[in-house]
Amino acid sequence: MAVDSSSPKSSPVYVIGGGPGGLATAATLRERGIHAVVLEKSDAVAASWRNHYDRLRLHTTRRLSALPGLAIPRPFGRWVARDDVIRYLERYTEHHRLEVVTGVEVSRIERTADNTEWMLRATGGRVLTSPVVVVATGFNHTPRLPDWPGRDTYTGELLHAAHYRNARPYAGKDVLVVGVGNTGAEIAVDLVEGGAERVRLAVRTPPHILRRSTAGWPTQRTGILVRRLPRPVVDRAARVICRVSMPDLTERGLPWPDTGLYTRVRQGAIPVQDVGLVDAVRRGTVEVVTAVDSFDQDKVVLADGARIGPEVVIAATGYRRGLEELVGHLGVLDTRGRPLAHGRRTLKSAPGLHFTGYTNPISGMLRELAIDARKIAKTVARTTS
């Protein structure tokens, strides 16, 4: 699809990324009469969701996860499955008649020579210009695999969790999962239920573990209520709630965390929503071990000096935002590679350059993407009118 960038007046707002954040922003812009074009590097919207593991479900409720202008269908259930999220995003694109150009990857954003617009360099030699650009390439963009000593000589199978789909290939095998975020916890449970012979979970820092809901009240709603309260208040309340609602797993290798829950959230660590890990650890079907220190041929050396010999290591070690090549030269990222300004805010040095989807809020990612989209559209409408 050709895009006319010859005239500043006809230049659309370019939204980079066809995931929930990009689609929501394009829809709210369109609602305000602003021409928006979504540029997606893959061949379809919701690319990152298509690559997630099979059993994934939203840990936020259906009602609190809808994007602007279209509810998630009730038959999808309270905790929406991965495939239904994909169906919803496809339906969302059609419902809002969004202009999505697939197969276009933007590699670099620069200012134009006269410093009045943004210039996007994309595949196929495309050069697109617009006064407003929204970057929505996603929180989980580039898999991060630690450079463990001896990693390259490990004779077993080593893969990042981004490449894990289901437990079938690992039935009857000895598997070590590294990392106890939501992904690592759920993959460990999936492996147990899928017939892995032995499942160990390597933990560096004990996580806060919460029930997804209690007596019908979702943890997400609590996150919404407390997110603007002082951090010490939330930390103290969460400590009490966790100790009342969750068993003590200290003897199983998961002691209570030393750092407060909301303090950890501010540092970028979201609590683990329990979808079976607690019971698996209590039963001993998931064995908690210390963090991975290094690899030595067919062995994994742990932080406590133990040497174990799993056949497979699955690294649930997170992602990088992957924004350095795209915008790192513009001075808009912090030392961790995250945008200095987010949502409706832009830096004075980068007017009209918005970012959405690069935080991991306790109140729910999709909910916050929807809020961001409305705010970005309102700001763009005001500044371009």
Taking the C-alpha atoms of residue 248 and residue 252, their distance in angstroms, rounded to an integer, is 9
81, burial (CB in 10 Å: exposed 0-12, middle 13-18, buried 19+): middle
Last residue within a domain, chosen from 287, 319, 351: 319
Domain assignment present for residue 126? The answer is yes
In a domain, 1, yes or no: no
Same domain assignment for residues 66 and 105: yes
Q: What is the pLDDT of residue 6?
A: 37
- Residues 116 and 111: their CA atoms lie apart, in Å, by 7
pLDDT at 326: 97
Residue 2 lies in a domain: no
CATH code: domain of residue 298: 3.50.50.60
Residues 115 and 258 in one domain: no
Rounded Cα–Cα distance for residues 173 and 312 (Å) = 8
Q: What is the pLDDT of residue 5?
A: 39
Evaluate whether residue 113 is within a structural domain.
yes
CA angle 159, 161, 164 (to 5 degrees): 85
Same domain, 234 and 360: no
pLDDT on residue 361: 86
User: Are 76 and 124 part of one and the same domain?
Assistant: yes
Written as one letter, the residue type at 52 is: H
Tell how many helices (H) and how many strands (E) occur in the chain: 10, 22
Position 29 in a domain: yes
User: Which residue, of 319, 350, 368, is where some domain finishes?
Assistant: 319
Q: Quick one: 154 and 130 in the same domain? A: no
Length of the chain: 385
Claim to verify: residue 159 and residue 233 sit in the same structural domain: yes
Distance CA 276, CA 98 (A): 38
Residues 327, 307: one domain?
Answer: no
Same domain, 32 and 89: yes
Q: Give the pLDDT score at 10.
A: 60
Give me the half-sphere count of Cα atoms (radius 13 Å) on the Cβ side of residue 376. 38
* Domain range enclosing 309: 144-319
Give yes or no: residues 37 and 114 share one domain.
yes
Same domain, 315 and 326: no
- Using CA atoms, how far apart are residues 210 and 345, in angstroms rounded to an integer? 32
Render each residue's pLDDT in the chain as its tens digit; 385 residues: 334 333 344 689 999 999 999 999 999 999 999 999 999 999 999 999 999 999 999 999 999 999 999 999 999 999 999 999 999 999 999 999 999 999 999 999 999 999 999 999 999 899 999 999 999 998 888 899 999 999 999 999 999 999 999 999 999 999 999 999 999 999 999 999 999 999 999 999 999 999 988 888 898 998 898 888 899 999 998 898 888 889 999 999 999 999 999 898 888 788 999 999 999 999 999 999 999 999 999 999 999 999 999 999 999 999 988 999 999 999 999 999 999 999 999 999 999 999 999 988 888 999 999 999 999 999 999 988 6
Beta bridge mates, 353: 133
* Domain stops at, among 294, 319, 344: 319
Task: Let me know whether 82 and 42 are in one domain.
Answer: yes
Same domain for 158 and 106: no
- Let me know if residue 354 belongs to a domain: yes
User: What is the number of domains present in the chain?
Assistant: 2
Amino acid 7: pLDDT:
38
User: Is there a domain that residue 132 lies in?
Assistant: yes
